[in-house]
Structure 1
Amino acid sequence: MMRAAFALACAGYFLAGCGMGPPAPAEPPTDLSLQTRAISSQALFGPPRPFAPARSNAQIAQDILELGFRLESGREIPQFSRFDGPVTLSLQGQIPPLGVIETDRLITRLQREAGLDIRRVPEQGQIVVEFVPRATLRRVVPDAACFVLPNVASWDAFRADPRAPALDWTRIARRTRALVIAPADSTVQDMRDCLHEEIAQALGPLNDLFRIGETVWNDDNLQTVLTGFDMLVLRVWNDPALQPGMTRAQVAERLPALLARHNPGGASAALPLDRVPTPRAWTEAIESALGGRTSRASFRAAQRALAIALEQGWKDERLAFSLFLSARFAPREDGAQALDAMLLAARIYNDRPGTEAHRAHIYLHLSAQALASGQHNLVLHLTDTAMSAARRTENGALLASLMLLRAQSLEHQGRRDQAENLRRDAVPFALFGFGSERAVDSRREEIAALAQRN
């Protein structure tokens, strides 16, 4: 229902921004300038190539029930809800330069990959996407980058009565209207990520789950665009066999046959089912780590989350993410332990389905460590492995950072022409993800400084 906006402080030799997003622009934008020089997802990445869903159908059935019958707050949703029939979508507000292009590309994906009957219209649609300046948005919802609401058609209408009973998702069975609030003056990547997650939640389940790696419905924000898992869930969610108003038990009864039809390959996956639910104390610790004002505060919160994960006996993304954040926020003097935690997180992600993007983020930080210690062949190996996943998951900020790390090691080995070519190739991805030339220069200088520490 809401994509969180976290500003992360970092320590050690890992990259600032923690792989969770681009560095902050050197100057806060006052208009749509962050998108004027960037190019679209299609121009950068070409045709979409999402990874296919890798979880078992039994696991996906469990996932759908938990995604669809509970809100992020923990409140239960008593009935199945969705739009019934074709869906129209419209854009309004301060539409950024690439807002229409990114929306249309998403709609095409939803039509082709999820089989949805959805189209953009010039008049007011059933789903309205309104672009609002970030400062305006955060004055009202400080922790949100974007969000989706039912039964309202404009930002002004929401502001007039933000606690209206009609905005309560738990009361809705048949969806008739939804409002997506997206940033008008963010980077193209942030804007596009918001469109993917919030429009998908308007059309499908509303919850976010940290334990599922292969979905944008996860507040770790490591997946940036809709995945093969997400498209499968949307296809199942909108299948005629499910009807608005059904109970959780009725949906659960029909899911096995639906998944067998829509995802026949999922019958053979053999991983044990995830342990659920997630204790609220762990989620609060993770949120405190991500939103901490200092690295020390974030580290303490990450350590609390890690202790809970170990106590629960998890072996899934929740343990891996706890380790990742513990490493990310570890003080400099705990560098050896932080590296061990990052390596263990990488091994866990490697054993989990659909976590290619997560491993790429881990390799980004391991590459930074390797660069700082002069292990240039290791930098080249790690970045080569991660760049393919970053490109396929359409993460411009991550891909540009990997390319700049790789270029630094190539230069150190005397391969200056290759290094300069790679830096030049990284620029459009960096503008897409970071938003400004100053932010791009800041990331490049940060990486160069790592190399000087050796």
Structure 2
Amino acid sequence: MRLRLPDLMTCAAALALSGCIASTPAPEVSPRPEQRAMAPAPSSESAAFARYYRSVEARLVGDGLLRTDGGVTDAPFTAAMLAANFERIALYDEYALIGGRFVQQQTPSRLRRWEQPVRIQAHFGASVSADQRAEDRSILSTYATRLARATRHPISTVSSGGNFHVLYLNRDDQLTAGDLVRRLVPGAGPEVIAEIENLPRSTFCAVYAFSETGGRPVYVAAIAIIRDEHPSLLRRSCVHEEVAQGLGLPNDSPSVRPTIFNDDEEFALLTPHDELLLRMLYDRRLQPGLRPGEDRATIRQIAEELIGGPS
């Protein structure tokens, strides 16, 4: 139900799916004064989206899903499980670019992460009210602090000069988001623009991460899309998952638990297990470019250190 993409190929036809953008910073983009002053009434389509997502959240919560407890009491895992889960989530992609479209197809990939500090910047469509913007910024700031603690990598929120852009858009904003995306990430290709502007209702949120042209498999920019029509728990869940995925955990797996990297929607928020995956991802003993099956002894050693011994 959510869309999570590998780092994106935007300037070369190759199967590696490594993103390609220039290293020059994107210009600062701010909403026009009239956008800040008054949120326009949503279209009938956007209003229908809001009703749909409210019903989805209510159904999931009623079914015992979208849990916020982290699974610490009923989903134990061993070091061996953590090591296997890391390989499945960090070293595989959930989507592939085929014929100019992103298709859900798990494929072996390589380890990718950020090396420069991650500066998370929120951007809001005209639909987002002032009160909602304040709440979203607070949630994003608190989450960035948690991610920095988990990864031991510099991650913070900024009001300008961001390189990880979180766009809060309703359906009406989404349909014309291409110009904003091109200004934020000038190298974003037509496939990315088309996907963002045409995300179907069944896709709750999305993230797109980019590497430099011809460079190592390290991220230099990312864009996450969060729907303004979401009620509070789905909205927060999308922020948790897409920002974490944009740090370098691109895959989902039905066999991994307890995690937000799983389409069964059992957990709404980043779990303690997921924090360990992030710690492993940013451990300097693992290098960008690592592929499935490589250096498993080191992966297992790191997992055992985090768990507290072999298990």
Which TM-score band (shorter chain)?
A: 0.5 to 0.7
In 2: Cα distance, 1:109 partner to 1:134 partner: 30
Alignment match of 1:148 (pick from 190, 193, 207): 207
Distance verdict in 2 for CA 1:115–1:21, change over 3 Å: same
In structure 2, stretches of 5+ residues that fail to align are: 5-48, 95-103, 176-196
Letter in 1 for 2:286: L
Indicate whether 1:173 and 2:173 are aligned. no
TM-score by length of 2: 0.62
> Which stretches in structure 1 are left out of the alignment for 5+ residues?
9-14, 24-47, 153-165, 269-454
- 1:16–1:145 Cα change, 3 Å: closer
Provide the C-alpha distance between the structure 2 equivalents of 1:213 and 1:244, rounded to a whole number of angstroms: 25
Note if contact 1:134-1:145 (Cα within 8 Å) is conserved in structure 2: no
1:218 alignment partner in structure 2 = 262
Q: Compared with structure 1, are the counterparts of its residues 232 and 131 closer, same or farther at alpha carbon in structure 2 (3 Å cutoff)?
A: same
- The corresponding residue for 2:24 is none
- What is the distance in 2 between the residues matched to 1:185 and 1:223? 20
Q: How far did residue 197 of structure 1 move? A: 0.1
**In the TM superposition, what is the alpha-carbon distance from 1:125 to its structure 2 partner?**
1.6
Residues 203 and 249 of structure 1: is their aligned pair in 2 closer, same or farther, counting only changes over 3 Å? Answer: same
Larger RCO, structure (CA 8 Å, separation 6 or more): 2
Q: Say whether the 8 Å CA contact 1:84–1:244 is kept in structure 2.
A: no
Question: Which string of whole-angstrom CA distances, capped at 9 and with x for unpartnered residues, describes residues 203-223 of structure 1?
Answer: 131111122231001111120
- Aligned match of 1:78: 109
The answer on whether the counterparts of 2:151 and 2:281 sit within 8 Å (CA) in structure 1 is no
1:258 equivalent in alignment to 2:311:
no
Residue 17 of structure 1: how far off its partner (Å): 6.5
Distance, in Å, in 2 between the alignment partners of 1:244 and 1:16 is: 38
Q: How does 1:384-395 map to 2 (within 5 A)?
A: none
Q: Which residue of 1 aligns with 2:79?
A: 57
Deviations 1:61-87, CA, capped at 9 Å, x for gaps? 111111122222234243211111422
Q: What amino acid maps onto 2:199 in structure 1?
A: V
Which residue of 46, 55, 60 maps to 1:20? Answer: 60
CA contact (8 A) 1:131 1:183 kept: yes
Instruction: Give the corresponding residue for 1:131.
Output: 168
1:375-414 equivalences in 2 (<5 Å): none
TM-score, normalized by length of structure 1?
0.43
Kindly state the Cα deviation for residue 18 of structure 1 after the two structures are TM-superposed.
7.3
Instruction: Give the corresponding residue for 1:348.
Output: none
What SS is found at the alignment partner of 2:105?
coil
Counterpart among 231, 235, 248 of residue 279 in structure 2: 235
CA distance in structure 2 between the aligned counterparts of 1:231 and 1:57, rounded to whole angstroms:
14
Structure number having the greater helix percentage: 1
Which structure: greater strand fraction? 2
Which whole-Å CA distance do the structure 2 matches of 1:224 and 1:207 have between them?
A: 16
Q: How many corresponding residue pairs? A: 219
- Residues 212 and 135 of structure 1: CA distance in aligned 2, closer, same or farther (over 3 Å): farther
The amino acid across from 1:90 in the alignment is Q
Larger radius of gyration: 1
SS in 2 for 1:144: coil
Q: State the Cα RMSD in Å.
A: 3.2
In the aligned structure 2, how far is the partner of 1:214 from the partner of 1:120? 27
Do the aligned residues in 1 keep the contact of 2:252 with 2:261 (CA within 8 Å)?
A: yes
Question: Could you tell me how far apart the structure 2 residues matched to 1:211 and 1:183 are?
Answer: 28
Runs of 4+ in 1 over 6 A off after TM superposition: 15-18
CA distance in 1, matches of 2:114, 2:295: 16
**Taking every aligned residue pair, what percent have the same amino acid on both sides?**
22
